[in-house]
């Protein structure tokens, strides 16, 4: 089929070590997402305690992303990836041993989540900076395509399935140990990567690091603020994640348990549904030409991906929730394929790295707030009303964003069948 043919050029041994390390890290992150839930439950915690663990992890990711980008331009990326994989493996391994001994405090689990979030924030810029150094330019599309297919399958299917089986068959401590093992295997892969010199811009050595960082951030932020379609989309993304991330991460397992009698296995099925839907939609969107109304289509896909979340507050059968997860994953990931292409086509190359970092930070700025509020809100208003807001608020916000930002006029003025990039 077309996918294997697309991967034929990727014959560089160093690249496959990097890809394998990424795959193992995705498995570990997906396993943690399930294991942390049931470890909190095993420790007697509920939605509020899970909000603390997941909220600290999200805050760590956001706090580390921009500094991670600076480090990736100044420190050999192999060193950074080694630090990241060890930061993921060692604390989780220690927590696993304490859990198996029955001595794991909830506060320490929250600290482990924070460190894992920091590792995740450092990983993305280091990986993104190293990939073009390992492959020629004409192979980057195939590599990015492989990553896009790996991410939902390993993070949302394989990792959660492994964790759920171990939690159900043995204990959350055993799942934590397997999670740490996957990160340690990723470390072994990174050790096989070459130590490459860091590419620097002319004059970078003479600039003070703090001054260079602030100047770069100011330039990227100025572009963001003056570019209406970009600013409007990122603000919408921030509000969408505020409405949806907390319910999905914190309340889904409790909705499954209380409304459908589900447990770790059913939770893994729901996460797998998100991954399968996302992978299939990504391939489908990528196989078709970019829509002429690309901004409107992106917003429509994201809005459509939120509506199925209503099922988690209304349905009483696991199958309905799994089906809703498939549809939700398809809409969200399909929109992300269009969004990534849009950034590459309409953001000037000299600003693309900074804009990508700001995209991650701005759109995810309210994620810690979302996960922190989900538990208390569900205890006050109930799980159903929280998912009602998560499913219905984003479509309304998407329509307002399209109209207020005059996206149809912007699309008509900047068709993407032109080869040049325009702001």
What domains sit in the chain, N to C, each tagged with a CATH number?
11-194 (1.20.1250.20), 215-417+419-423 (1.20.1250.20)
Collapsed DSSP state (helix, strand, coil) of residue 291? coil
- Report the alpha-carbon distance of residue 111 to residue 95 in Å, rounded: 10
CB 275 within 8 A of CB 155: yes
24, two tokens: 């193992």
pLDDT in tens, 227-269: 999 999 999 999 999 999 989 888 888 888 888 888 878 887 8
Inform me whether the pLDDT recorded for 335 exceeds 50.
yes
196: exposed, middle or buried (Cβ count in 10 Å: 0-12, 13-18, 19+) = middle
Q: What pLDDT is recorded for position 207?
A: 53
13: exposed, middle or buried (Cβ count in 10 Å: 0-12, 13-18, 19+) = exposed
Full DSSP string of 28-83: HHHHHHHHHHHHHHHTT--HHHHHHHHHHHHHHHHHHHHHHHHHHTTS-HHHHHHH
Full DSSP string of 117-157: HHHHHHHHHHHHHHHHHHS-GGGHHHHHHHHHHHHHHIIII
How far is residue 159 from each of residues 114, 194, 420, measured CA to CA in Å? 19, 28, 40
pLDDT in tens, 83-138: 999 999 999 999 999 999 988 998 899 999 999 999 988 887 777 777 767 777 55
Highest mean pLDDT among 179-188, 195-204, 285-294: 179-188
- Report the alpha-carbon distance of residue 412 to residue 292 in Å, rounded: 8
pLDDT in tens, 354-364: 677 777 778 87
Collapsed DSSP state (helix, strand, coil) of residue 186? helix
pLDDT in tens, 91-106: 999 999 999 998 899 8
89, two tokens: 């493996």
Does pTM top 0.85 for this prediction? no
Inform me whether the pLDDT recorded for 190 exceeds 50.
yes
Inform me whether the pLDDT recorded for 380 exceeds 70.
yes
- Report the alpha-carbon distance of residue 41 to residue 332 in Å, rounded: 29
- Report the alpha-carbon distance of residue 218 to residue 150 in Å, rounded: 34
Instruction: Round the average pLDDT of the chain to a whole number and report it.
Output: 82
Helical spans, DSSP H, in 200-315: 209-226, 228-246, 252-260, 264-286, 294-306, 311-314
194, two tokens: 């070459």
Collapsed DSSP state (helix, strand, coil) of residue 292? coil
Tell me 12's DSSP state.
-
218 or 409, higher pLDDT: 409
Nearest to 301 by CA among 338, 252, 274, 350: 338
Tell me 8's DSSP state.
T
Taking the CB of residue 138, how many other CB atoms lie within 10 A of it?
8
Q: List b or e across 145-156, with b for residues whose CB sees 16 or more CB atoms inside 10 angstroms.
A: bbebbbbbbbbb
In the predicted model, what is the mean pLDDT of residues 153-170? Answer: 86
The torsion region of residue 44 among left (phi > 0), alpha (psi -120 to 50) and beta comes to left
How far is residue 403 from each of residues 206, 363, 410, measured CA to CA in Å? 46, 20, 11
- 264-286 helix and 318-346 helix, angle to the nearest 10 degrees: 40
CB 133 within 8 A of CB 224: no
78, two tokens: 């192999």
Band (205; pLDDT cuts 50, 70, 90): low
423 CB contacts (<8 Å, ≥6 apart)?
223, 227, 346, 347, 348
Band (349; pLDDT cuts 50, 70, 90): low
Q: What pLDDT is recorded for position 164?
A: 87
- Report the alpha-carbon distance of residue 128 to residue 124 in Å, rounded: 6
- Report the alpha-carbon distance of residue 97 to residue 85 in Å, rounded: 18
280, two tokens: 């299939």
Q: What pLDDT is recorded for position 274?
A: 87
CB 411 within 8 A of CB 342: no
101 CB contacts (<8 Å, ≥6 apart)?
none
373 or 360, higher pLDDT: 373
Tell me 251's DSSP state.
I
Inform me whether the pLDDT recorded for 280 exceeds 90.
no
Q: What percent of the chain has pLDDT over 70?
A: 86
């Amino acid at each position: 089929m077309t996918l294997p043919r697309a991967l034929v050029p990727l014959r560089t041994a160093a690249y496959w070590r990097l890809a394998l390390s990424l795959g193992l890290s995705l498995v570990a992150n997906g396993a943690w997402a399930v294991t942390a839930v049931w470890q909190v439950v095993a420790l007697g915690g509920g939605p509020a305690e899970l909000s603390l663990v997941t909220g600290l992890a999200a805050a760590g990711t956001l706090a580390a992303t921009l500094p991670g980008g600076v480090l990736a331009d100044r420190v050999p990326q192999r060193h950074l990836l080694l630090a990241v994989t060890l930061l993921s493996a060692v604390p989780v391994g220690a927590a696993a041993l304490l859990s198996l001994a029955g001595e794991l405090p909830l506060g320490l689990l929250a600290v482990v989540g924070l460190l894992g979030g920091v590792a995740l924030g450092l990983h993305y810029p280091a990986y993104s900076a190293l990939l073009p150094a390992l492959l020629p330019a004409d192979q980057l599309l195939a590599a990015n395509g492989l990553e896009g297919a790996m991410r939902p399958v390993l993070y949302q299917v394989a990792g959660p399935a492994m964790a759920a089986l171990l939690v159900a068959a043995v204990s959350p401590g055993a799942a934590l140990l397997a999670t740490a093992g996957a990160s340690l295997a990723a470390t072994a892969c990174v050790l096989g990567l070459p130590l490459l010199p860091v590419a620097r811009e002319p004059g970078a050595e003479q600039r003070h690091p703090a001054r260079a960082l602030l100047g770069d951030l100011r330039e990227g932020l100025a572009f963001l603020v003056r570019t209406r379609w970009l600013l409007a989309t990122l603000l919408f993304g921030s509000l969408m994640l505020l409405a949806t991330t907390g319910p999905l991460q914190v309340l889904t397992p409790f909705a499954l348990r209380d409304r459908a009698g589900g447990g770790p296995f059913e939770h893994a099925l729901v996460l797998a549904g998100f991954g399968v839907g996302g992978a299939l939609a990504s391939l489908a969107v990528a196989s078709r030409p970019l829509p002429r109304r690309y901004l409107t289509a992106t917003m429509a896909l994201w809005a459509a991906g939120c509506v199925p979340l209503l099922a988690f507050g209304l349905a009483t059968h696991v199958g309905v929730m799994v089906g809703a997860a498939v549809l939700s994953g398809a809409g969200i990931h399909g929109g992300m394929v269009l969004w990534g292409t849009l950034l590459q086509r309409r953001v000037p190359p000299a600003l693309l790295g900074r804009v990508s970092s700001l995209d991650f930070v701005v759109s995810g700025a309210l994620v810690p707030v979302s996960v922190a509020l989900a538990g208390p809100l569900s205890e006050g208003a109930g799980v159903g009303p929280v998912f009602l807001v998560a499913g219905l608020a984003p479509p309304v916000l998407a329509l307002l964003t399209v109209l207020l930002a005059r996206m149809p006029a912007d699309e008509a003025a900047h068709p993407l069948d032109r080869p040049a990039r325009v702001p």
